[in-house]
């Protein structure tokens, strides 16, 4: 092949190799030819083409869609087939030539198949069916080849390719030819793939599906810029009311922008949404419709994902599976559970974080998801700093729907309006880009009340302390009085270090005094408060419930 069947060059090259033996020059045929001459003649006869015949395959466009049905054994005849080596690597080149536009290989996700709308993970092992069909087409190529010798070579190779080992090795060889990096997938933050095209979230225009965009996710909803959703809008007006009983359009407009923002892959608002209210208030219906709207872009997880655990350094399977999501709903939490503030700051901060699946290595990803935490119980927020509270947006569901007013057909009615809901969400995205996501008064007030509820030091200070720049108190004494007050009032108790940190946040500094004593400046106990607290000194603490004894 490489010498263009030049016998002299072949002989010269072999003589310089380590394979040369004495028999090379000995006569080995009745016609007087040496062993070497016979070997060269055989090699020339068995080589159908040479380097001089090689031409790079011309670019050839194919639209190949493989159905989920099993592929029948066929002997497809290929006219004017390009020349491929009859090796496993040649098979790989053949597969890449005919199907390379529609298959990709990613190390983390393995095989991806283009189905005309998006790249989906090859859970049905379609790459094996594609390979089998492509290699069986070599039988047809053999039939179409006039050169009998070449035809036999092709037929024999097609027969060898019936072996599973050859097919699998060919699949392994094709991987680098169609490789894609994970970071290249779904990398367009303002594109949203849906059933009938790709929405440009910056313009609201619908673009055609395009394999080159490398989108792996899709919403099952069609986008129609003229679609309406009267039942959806009526539903929102029925569950969000002002104190006067009118529809709270300011809050509804805010939620429209929040959902529109969630269609994108950006997290610059750095917020987490808490949907709070007692039962029969529309929370579940609202979140279920949005989850259906987002399709592959949405994930649902347990509320525990975002709550404090005893071992926060354990395997975070639940966080790992959120990679690539744009919308995450976390449903319900039990009373008295604490928010994992460090995790909330991390997922809303726009920085990379690490996670891993069970028995797998850690990987890094940048969160794109917006969390909607749906609950009847507000999780405990221990911190009082702006670093956590500026990220919390409490959306109040204050309306309780009477039992006789519940529309059990509402989910079906809303499902029929999903194209209109998608249009509503896209409009919300456009509004968010021009107006921002400023919280309405209802959200500000509800979040402020939540923050006040979580400030367990404020009631103690208000009831028992005098604040004055000229006073001070021994730190140990203040903490002991604080713990007694917690026992009396059924309050969760801060550990001493957390207690002192919270005082410092409020501007009360600690200083060293004589005798290794520490003092808190600017605060002291009221005389009446001190006597009331110490009057409980001899009470039976066995009456204190476990929740009283719990410390944060």
pLDDT at 265 over 80: yes
Backbone angle region of 350, left / alpha / beta, with phi > 0 → left and psi within -120 to 50 → alpha: left
Bigger pLDDT: 548 vs 102: 102
Quick one: pLDDT band at residue 474, thresholds 50, 70, 90? very high
Domain final position from 138, 153, 174: 174
Q: What is the pLDDT of residues 415-457, one digit of tens each?
A: 999 999 999 999 999 999 999 999 999 999 999 999 988 887 8
Judge if 19 and 95 occupy the same domain. Answer: no
In a domain, 241, yes or no: yes
* pLDDT given at position 529: 58
pLDDT band at 413 (very low <50, low <70, confident <90, very high): very high
Kindly state the tokens that stand for 522.
């600017």
| Residue 535 clears pLDDT 80, i.e. is over it | no
User: What are the residue ranges of helices labelled H in 116-244?
Assistant: 126-143, 148-160, 164-174, 230-239
Considering the domain boundaries, does residue 181 fall inside one?
no
In which domain, by residue range, is 443 found? 230-453
Please give the full DSSP string across 19-57, using - where no structure is assigned: T--GGGGSB-STT--BHHHHHHHHHHHT----GGG--PP
Q: Does 64 lie in the same domain as 32? A: no
- Angstrom distance (rounded) from CA 180 to CA 212: 11
pLDDT of residue 484: 92
Dist CA 457 CA 474 (whole Å): 17
Give exposure, 254-283, as e/b (b: 16+ Cβ within 10 Å).
bbbbbbbbbbbbebebebbbbbbbeebbbb
Say if residue 70 is in the same domain as residue 143.
yes
Say what the pLDDT of residue 505 is.
81
Bridge partner residues of 338 (DSSP): 380
Tell me: do 66 and 133 sit in the same domain.
yes
Determine the average pLDDT of the residues in 70-92: 68
Q: What pLDDT does residue 308 have?
A: 87
Which is more confident, 74 or 278?
A: 278
Q: What's the domain count of the chain?
A: 4
Residue 115: phi, psi to the nearest 5? -110, 15
Q: Which pLDDT does position 406 carry in this prediction?
A: 92
The closest alpha carbon to 454, from 419, 420, 491, 485, belongs to 491
Does pLDDT of 90 surpass 70? yes
Q: With contact defined as beta carbons under 8 Å apart, do 326 and 298 qualify?
A: yes
User: pLDDT by residue (tens digit) across 157-172?
Assistant: 999 999 999 999 999 9
The CATH number that applies at residue 525 is 1.10.10.10
Question: Over 50: is that where the pLDDT of 74 sits?
Answer: no
Is the pLDDT reported for residue 540 higher than 50?
no
Asked if 287 and 326 sit in the same domain, the reply is yes
Non-local (6+) Cβ contacts of 148 within 8 A are none
Asked whether residue 490 is domain-assigned, the answer is yes
Question: Where does 66-109 show beta strands of DSSP type E?
Answer: 103-106
CB-based contacts of 512, cutoff 8 Å, min separation 6 = 518, 519
**297 within domain boundaries:** yes
CA–CA gap between residue 540 and residue 42 (Å, rounded)? 104
pLDDT digits (tens, 9 = 90+) for 54-73: 554 444 443 434 444 434 44
Most confident of 47-61, 194-208, 336-350, 371-385: 194-208
Mean pLDDT value across residues 505-513: 88
Same-domain status, 274 and 418: yes
| Domain co-membership, 34 together with 161 | no
Q: Spell out the residues 6+ positions from residue 20 whose beta carbon is closer than 8 angstroms to its own.
A: 14
Q: Are residues 261 and 285 in the same domain?
A: yes
Q: Specify the pLDDT at position 239.
A: 97
Give the strand pairing for 272-276 and 205-207: unpaired
The DSSP secondary-structure symbol of 338 reads: B
Last residue of a domain, one of 453, 480, 509: 453
Q: Is the same domain home to 491 and 531?
A: yes
CB of 430 closer than 8 Å to CB of 204: yes
Is pLDDT at 174 greater than 80 in this prediction?
Answer: yes
Q: What is the pLDDT of residue 80?
A: 58
| Other CB atoms within 10 Å distance of the CB of residue 215 | 21
Q: In what order do the strands lie in the sheet with 392-396?
A: 298-302, 327-331, 370-375, 272-276, 392-396
What pLDDT score does 544 carry?
36
Lowest mean pLDDT among 94-103, 287-296, 373-382: 373-382
Q: Are residues 505 and 418 in the same domain?
A: no
pLDDT of residue 313: 58
pLDDT band at 99 (very low <50, low <70, confident <90, very high): very high
Domain closes at, from 149, 174, 199: 174
Whether residue 342 lies inside any domain: the answer is yes
11 pLDDT band, cuts 50/70/90, is: confident
The C-alpha atoms of residue 181 and residue 178 are separated, in whole angstroms, by 10
Are residues 431 and 348 part of one domain? yes
Please give the DSSP secondary-structure letter assigned to residue 261: H
User: What is d(CA 339, CA 333) in angstroms, rounded to the nearest whole number?
Assistant: 10
Element (H, E) at 480: helix 475-489
Domain contains 367:
yes
Do 32 and 72 share a domain, yes or no?
Answer: no
What percent of the chain has a predicted confidence (pLDDT) above 90? Answer: 63
Question: What's the pLDDT at 33?
Answer: 80
Question: Mean pLDDT throughout 534-547?
Answer: 42
Confirm whether 2 is domain-assigned. no
What is the CATH classification number for the domain harbouring 245?
Answer: 3.40.50.300
Task: For residue 67, tell me if it sits in a domain.
Answer: yes
Q: Give the pLDDT of residue 12.
A: 73
pLDDT of 81 > 60? The answer is no
């Amino acid at each position: 092949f490489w010498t263009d069947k030049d016998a002299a060059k072949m002989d010269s090259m072999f003589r310089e190799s380590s394979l040369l033996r004495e028999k090379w020059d000995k006569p080995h045929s009745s016609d007087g030819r040496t062993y070497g001459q016979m070997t060269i003649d055989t090699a020339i006869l068995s080589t159908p083409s040479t380097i001089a015949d090689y031409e790079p395959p011309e670019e050839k466009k194919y639209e190949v869609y493989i159905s989920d049905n099993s592929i029948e054994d066929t002997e497809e005849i290929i006219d004017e087939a390009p020349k491929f080596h009859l090796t496993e690597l040649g098979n790989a080149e053949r597969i890449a030539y005919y199907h390379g536009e529609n298959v990709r290989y990613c190390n983390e996700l393995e095989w991806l198949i283009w189905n005309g709308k998006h790249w989906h993970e090859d859970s049905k092992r379609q790459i094996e069916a594609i390979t089998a069909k492509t290699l069986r087409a070599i039988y047809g190529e053999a039939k179409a080849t006039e050169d009998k010798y070449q035809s036999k070579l092709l037929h024999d190779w097609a027969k060898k390719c019936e072996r599973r080992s050859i097919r699998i090795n060919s699949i392994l060889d094709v991987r680098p030819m169609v490789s894609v990096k994970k970071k290249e997938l779904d990398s367009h933050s303002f594109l949203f793939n849906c059933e009938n095209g790709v929405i440009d979230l910056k313009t609201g225009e619908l673009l055609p599906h395009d394999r080159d965009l490398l989108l792996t996710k899709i919403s099952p909803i069609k986008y129609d810029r003229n679609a309406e959703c009267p039942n959806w809008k009526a539903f929102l007006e029925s569950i969000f009311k002002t104190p006067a009983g009118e529809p709270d359009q300011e809050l509804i407009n805010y939620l429209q922008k929040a959902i529109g923002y969630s269609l994108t892959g950006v997290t610059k608002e750095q917020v987490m949404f808490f949907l709070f209210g007692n039962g029969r208030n529309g929370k579940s219906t609202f979140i279920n419709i949005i989850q259906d709207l987002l399709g592959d872009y949405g994930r649902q997880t347990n509320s525990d994902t975002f709550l404090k655990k005893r071992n926060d350094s354990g395997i975070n399977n639940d966080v790992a599976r959120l990679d690539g999501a744009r919308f995450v709903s976390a449903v319900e939490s039990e009373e008295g559970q604490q928010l994992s503030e460090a995790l909330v700051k991390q997922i809303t901060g726009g920085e990379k974080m690490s996670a891993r699946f069970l028995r797998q290595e850690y990987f890094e990803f940048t969160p794109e998801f917006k969390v909607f935490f749906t609950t009847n119980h507000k999780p405990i927020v221990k911190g009082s700093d702006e670093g956590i509270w500026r990220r919390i947006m409490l959306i109040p569901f204050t309306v309780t729907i009477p039992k006789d007013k519940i529309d059990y057909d509402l989910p079906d009615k809303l499902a029929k309006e999903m194209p209109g809901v998608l249009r509503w969400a896209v409009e919300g995205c456009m509004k968010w880009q021009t107006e921002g996501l400023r919280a309405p008064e209802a959200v500000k007030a509800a979040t402020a009340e939540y923050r006040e509820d979580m400030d367990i030091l404020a009631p103690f200070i208000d009831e028992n302390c005098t604040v004055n720049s000229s006073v001070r108190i021994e730190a140990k004494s203040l903490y002991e009085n604080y713990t007694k007050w917690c026992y009396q009032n059924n309050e969760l108790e801060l550990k001493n270090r957390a207690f002192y940190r919270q005082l410092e946040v409020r501007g009360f500094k600690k200083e060293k005094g004589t005798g290794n004593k520490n003092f808190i400046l600017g605060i002291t106990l009221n005389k009446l408060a001190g006597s009331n607290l110490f009057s409980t000194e001899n009470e039976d603490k066995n009456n204190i419930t476990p929740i009283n004894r719990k410390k944060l």
